[in-house]
């Protein structure tokens, strides 16, 4: 018995020494921040109240907010209007940890670049070339000053989001070098404003090749803080969407998986491409817009909880280094994406299965 006791004591002492000498376990990676676009401050069904209702629906104490600046003119729009920033200022101060993700247009006015029709520089054409010369720096200095004034100087700015598509005034196809030069001018002008040192800038193309490979417009590591990608459950690839009206459950599931694997994740300039791009450049990744989709042309995956599951797995995987993501929770003109019951709590979602899965995975 004494010999056995001595052996046990030696084992215990060895175990204690091993525990002391073992390196400390690495802390668990923080989950990415969750944001939402629930219409903006200009919409009576949106703004701060809609953000708070969304957080309550999920049972979370805090959800970041996303909003879009109007595109009509420089002053009171792109320069930062008190009507918009004032509401988000009060919202941010009310709960610790809140942050605003602000989508900032690069050029005001119509698609033809004829410029703003009213306000500062009304009737003056706009261009990336002028921006790259620094002609518009004063507007972005004012935006930075306004963000500082309203206590929003730690916001994340999506400058000229989805610039690789053809639908915005700031589409950059054929002008990648001027886009990049303009970006550097903006970032330099805004960072030079006292108190604006914590502003962060997100390089944010839309998913896919679209009009040109968006990496050609990369403005340089020193002027980008996040790489972002907008991702919706949409596909134009063969044997994906539209889902045939008479499709079996197995065929529907196979088409949705094909859309994820061959388009959204592994497709040309899909999630995997941009995740790897961010890693190569040492930048955190983000998904500033994402959602299930119902489109008039049928190219959305409809009520697809599998898409929610795929996105959740991608977003929380530490290897992908996702810093934040924001669900696009609205019925937009070009497609429906809304999961929550809205500000009133009575709005109906087209996606009940997806809503339940989202709440289970992203709720408290």
Average pLDDT over residues 48-56: 97
State how beta strands 335-336 and 331-332 pair: antiparallel
In this prediction, residue 355 carries a pLDDT of 98
Average pLDDT over residues 44-63: 96
Average pLDDT over residues 127-136: 98
In sequence order, the 6+-apart residues with CB closer than 8 A to the CB of 171 are: 163, 164, 165, 211
Vertex 103: Cα angle to 101 and 108 (nearest 5): 155
In this prediction, residue 19 carries a pLDDT of 42
In this prediction, residue 5 carries a pLDDT of 42
Residue that wins the pLDDT comparison between 179 and 7 = 179
Closest CA to 155 of 76, 92, 102: 102
Average pLDDT over residues 5-20: 42
Whether 28 has a pLDDT exceeding 70, the answer reads no
Average pLDDT over residues 299-328: 98
State how beta strands 322-328 and 335-336 pair: unpaired
Query: What's the chain's average pLDDT?
Result: 93
Closest CA to 189 of 96, 77, 79: 79
Domain ranges of the chain: 28-362
Number of residues assigned to the chain = 364
68-105 residue pLDDT tens: 999 999 999 999 999 999 999 999 999 999 999 999 99
Whether 59 has a pLDDT exceeding 70, the answer reads yes
Check if the beta carbon of residue 34 is closer than 8 Å to that of residue 59. no
**CA quadruple 146, 151, 156, 161: dihedral positive or negative?**
negative
Whether 301 has a pLDDT exceeding 60, the answer reads yes
Whether 318 has a pLDDT exceeding 50, the answer reads yes
In this prediction, residue 30 carries a pLDDT of 80
Average pLDDT over residues 170-181: 98
Does residue 242 have a cis peptide bond before it, meaning omega lies within 30 degrees of 0? yes
Q: What percent of the chain has pLDDT over 90?
A: 91
Whether 24 has a pLDDT exceeding 90, the answer reads no
Check if the beta carbon of residue 86 is closer than 8 Å to that of residue 46. no
Assessment of whether the complete model's pTM goes beyond 0.85: yes
Cα–Cα distance for residue pair 147/129, rounded to 1 Å: 26
197-255 residue pLDDT tens: 999 999 999 999 999 999 999 999 999 999 999 999 999 999 999 999 999 999 999 99
In sequence order, the 6+-apart residues with CB closer than 8 A to the CB of 92 are: 98, 99, 100, 151, 152
In this prediction, residue 364 carries a pLDDT of 85
269-291 residue pLDDT tens: 999 999 999 999 999 999 999 99
Place domain 28-362 in its CATH homologous superfamily: Glycosidases (3.20.20.80)
Lowest mean pLDDT segment, chosen from 23-32, 121-130, 299-308: 23-32
In this prediction, residue 271 carries a pLDDT of 98
Whether 342 has a pLDDT exceeding 90, the answer reads yes
Average pLDDT over residues 178-200: 98
Lowest mean pLDDT segment, chosen from 42-46, 311-315, 346-350: 42-46
């Amino acid at each position: 018995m004494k010999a056995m006791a001595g052996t046990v004591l030696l084992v215990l002492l060895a175990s204690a020494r091993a525990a002391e000498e073992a390196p400390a376990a690495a802390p668990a990676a923080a989950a990415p921040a969750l944001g939402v676009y629930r219409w903006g401050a200009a919409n009576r069904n949106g703004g701060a109240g809609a953000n708070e209702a969304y957080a309550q629906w999920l049972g979370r104490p805090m959800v970041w907010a996303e909003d879009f600046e109007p595109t009509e003119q420089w002053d009171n729009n792109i320069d930062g209007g008190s009507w918009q920033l004032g509401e988000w200022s009060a919202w941010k101060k009310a709960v610790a940890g809140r942050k605003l993700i602000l989508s900032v247009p690069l050029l005001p006015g119509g698609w033809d670049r004829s410029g703003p029709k009213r306000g500062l520089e009304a009737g003056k054409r706009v261009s990336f070339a002028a921006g790259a010369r620094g002609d518009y720096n004063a507007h972005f200095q004012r935006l930075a000053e306004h963000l500082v004034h309203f206590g929003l100087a730690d916001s994340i700015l999506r400058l000229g989001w989805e610039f690789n598509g053809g639908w915005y005034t700031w589409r950059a196809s054929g002008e990648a070098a001027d886009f990049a030069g303009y970006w550097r001018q903006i970032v330099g002008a805004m960072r030079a404003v006292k108190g604006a040192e914590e502003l962060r800038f997100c390089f944010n193309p839309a998913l896919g090749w679209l009009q040109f490979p968006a990496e050609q417009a990369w403005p340089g590591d020193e002027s980008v803080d996040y790489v972002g990608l907008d991702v919706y459950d949409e596909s134009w690839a063969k044997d994906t969407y539209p889902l045939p009206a008479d499709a079996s459950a197995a065929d529907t599931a196979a088409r949705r998986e094909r859309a994820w694997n061959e388009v959204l994740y592994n497709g040309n300039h899909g999630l995997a491409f941009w995740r790897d791009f961010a890693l190569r450049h040492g930048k955190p990744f983000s998904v500033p817009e994402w959602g299930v989709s119902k489109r008039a042309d049928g190219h959305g995956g409809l009520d697809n909880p599998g898409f929610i599951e795929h996105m959740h797995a991608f977003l929380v995987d530490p290897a992908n280094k996702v810093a934040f993501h924001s669900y696009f929770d609205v019925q937009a003109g070009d497609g429906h994406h809304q999961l929550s019951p809205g500000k009133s709590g009575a709005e109906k979602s087209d996606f009940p299965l997806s809503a339940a899965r989202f709440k289970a995975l992203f709720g408290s």
